[in-house]
Amino acid sequence: MSKELGEPSFEVLQERYDLAMGRIREIALDPALEGESGDYFSKMAQHLQMLGQTREWLLEGAADTADGETLRVRNQDLYRDLLEDHYARCWANPRRAAKAFGSNTGALMAMLAAELYELPGLVYESAAVRVPVPYWSLAALEELTASLELFIEIFSLFTSSAEEGKTPAPARIRETLYWFFSDYTDVFAAQRVLDAIDPGRDFAVRIVMDSDLTDLRYLYRYGEYVTDNELDTARFLNSRTSEEIEAMARTFTEGYRTGFVKAGKDLSRKKTVNIRYQLGFERMVREAVRQFEAMGLQPVIYRRALSRICKNQVARTGYSGALANPQFDYDHKEDQALFLDKAYVHRKLDVMRTAYEANRETAGEHAGPAVIEVFGEPPFTPKECPGALRLGRKGQALSATLLQQTAQLTNTYIIGEERSFTIIAFPSPRIGPAFEEIFRDTMAVNTMDSRKYEKIQQFLIDALDQAESVHVTGRCGNRTDLTIALAPLADPEKQTNFENCVADVNIPVGEVFTSPQLEGTNGVLHVSQVYLNGLDYHDLSLTFKDGMITDYGCGGFESEEAGREYVKNTVLFHHETLPMGEFAIGTNTAAYAMSVRYGIGAQLPILIAEKCGPHFAVGDTCYSWEEDVPVFNPDGKEVTARDNSVSLMRREDPGKAYFGCHTDITIPYSQLGSVELCCRDGSKVLLLSEGRFVLPGTLELNSPLEGLE
Q: pLDDT of 429-471, one tens digit each? A: 999 999 999 999 999 999 998 889 999 999 999 999 999 999 9
Does the pLDDT of residue 4 top 60, yes or no? no
396-407 mean pLDDT: 88
With a CB cutoff of 8 Å and minimum separation 6, the contacts of 387 are 94, 95, 97, 98, 103, 106, 107, 110
- CA-to-CA separations, 462 to 457, 459, 496, 512, in angstroms, rounded: 9, 5, 8, 11
CA distance 446 to 153: 52
Q: Residue 370's closest CA among 416, 448, 301, 451?
A: 301
The secondary structure element, H or E, covering residue 553 is strand 548-555
pLDDT bucket at 5, cuts 50 / 70 / 90:
very low
| pLDDT of amino acid 313 | 67
CA distance 114 to 82: 9
CA distance 637 to 500: 10
Q: Residue 3's closest CA among 197, 202, 189, 269?
A: 197
| pLDDT of amino acid 417 | 87
CA distance 17 to 4: 21
Contact between residue 409 and residue 349 where contact means Cβ atoms under 8 Å apart: yes
Which residues does residue 369 pair with via DSSP β-bridges, in sequence order?
274
CA distance 326 to 84: 9
**Which of 131-135, 475-479, 552-556, 645-649 is predicted least confidently?**
131-135
Task: List, as one string, the DSSP characters of 16-42.
Answer: HHHHHHHHHHHHHT-TT--HHHHHHHH
pLDDT bucket at 1, cuts 50 / 70 / 90:
very low
Does the pLDDT of residue 2 top 50, yes or no? no
pLDDT bucket at 314, cuts 50 / 70 / 90:
low
| pLDDT of amino acid 16 | 96
The secondary structure element, H or E, covering residue 548 is strand 548-555
| pLDDT of amino acid 520 | 97
Strands 672-679 and 684-689: antiparallel
397-416 mean pLDDT: 90
- What backbone torsions phi and psi does residue 665 show, to the nearest 5 degrees? -130, 120
Contact between residue 271 and residue 298 where contact means Cβ atoms under 8 Å apart: yes
pLDDT digits (tens, 9 = 90+) for 574-606: 889 999 999 999 999 999 999 999 999 888 888
Does the pLDDT of residue 263 top 90, yes or no? no
Does the pLDDT of residue 7 top 80, yes or no? no
Question: Three-state secondary structure along 103-138?
Answer: HHHHHHHHHHHHHHHCCHHHHHHHCCCCCCCCHHHH
The secondary structure element, H or E, covering residue 55 is helix 35-59
354-379 mean pLDDT: 95
Task: List, as one string, the DSSP characters of 410-449.
Answer: HHHHS-GGG---EEEEEE-GGG-TTHHHHHHHHHHHHT--
| pLDDT of amino acid 6 | 52
What 3-state DSSP class applies to 659?
A: coil
- CA-to-CA separations, 128 to 65, 118, 303, in angstroms, rounded: 15, 18, 15
Give me the half-sphere count of Cα atoms (radius 13 Å) on the Cβ side of residue 625.
23
CA distance 569 to 313: 9
Does the pLDDT of residue 709 top 70, yes or no? no
Residue 380 CB coordination number (10 Å): 16
Which residues does residue 542 pair with via DSSP β-bridges, in sequence order?
525, 552
pLDDT bucket at 397, cuts 50 / 70 / 90:
confident
pLDDT digits (tens, 9 = 90+) for 167-183: 899 999 999 999 999 99
What 3-state DSSP class applies to 48?
A: helix
pLDDT digits (tens, 9 = 90+) for 60-111: 999 999 999 999 999 999 999 999 999 999 999 999 999 999 999 999 999 9
pLDDT bucket at 707, cuts 50 / 70 / 90:
confident
**Domain chopping of the chain, boundaries:** 10-228+298-416, 448-704
* Mean pLDDT over the full length of the chain: 93
Model confidence, pTM: 0.91
| pLDDT of amino acid 396 | 85
- What backbone torsions phi and psi does residue 490 show, to the nearest 5 degrees? -70, -35
Which residues does residue 582 pair with via DSSP β-bridges, in sequence order?
617
CA distance 110 to 113: 5
CA distance 506 to 258: 11
**Which of 26-40, 153-167, 359-373 is predicted least confidently?**
153-167
| pLDDT of amino acid 3 | 40
- CA-to-CA separations, 630 to 199, 518, 637, in angstroms, rounded: 31, 21, 10
Please tell me the total number of residues recorded for the chain in this structure.
Answer: 709
340-345 mean pLDDT: 96
Asked if the bond preceding 508 is cis, omega within 30° of 0, the reply is yes
Does the pLDDT of residue 155 top 60, yes or no? yes
Alpha helices in 198-338 (DSSP H): 203-210, 228-238, 242-263, 282-294, 326-331
Strands 692-693 and 684-689: antiparallel
CA distance 83 to 90: 9
Contact between residue 425 and residue 277 where contact means Cβ atoms under 8 Å apart: no
CA distance 284 to 240: 10
| pLDDT of amino acid 125 | 97
Q: What percent of the chain has pLDDT over 90?
A: 81
The DSSP 8-state label assigned to residue 506 in this structure reads B
Q: At what angle do helices 228-238 and 435-446 cross, to 10 degrees?
A: 60
Residue 187 CB coordination number (10 Å): 19
Contact between residue 578 and residue 659 where contact means Cβ atoms under 8 Å apart: yes
Does the pLDDT of residue 136 top 50, yes or no? yes
CA distance 499 to 506: 13
What 3-state DSSP class applies to 493?
A: coil
673-683 mean pLDDT: 95
Q: Residue 702's closest CA among 614, 593, 607?
A: 593
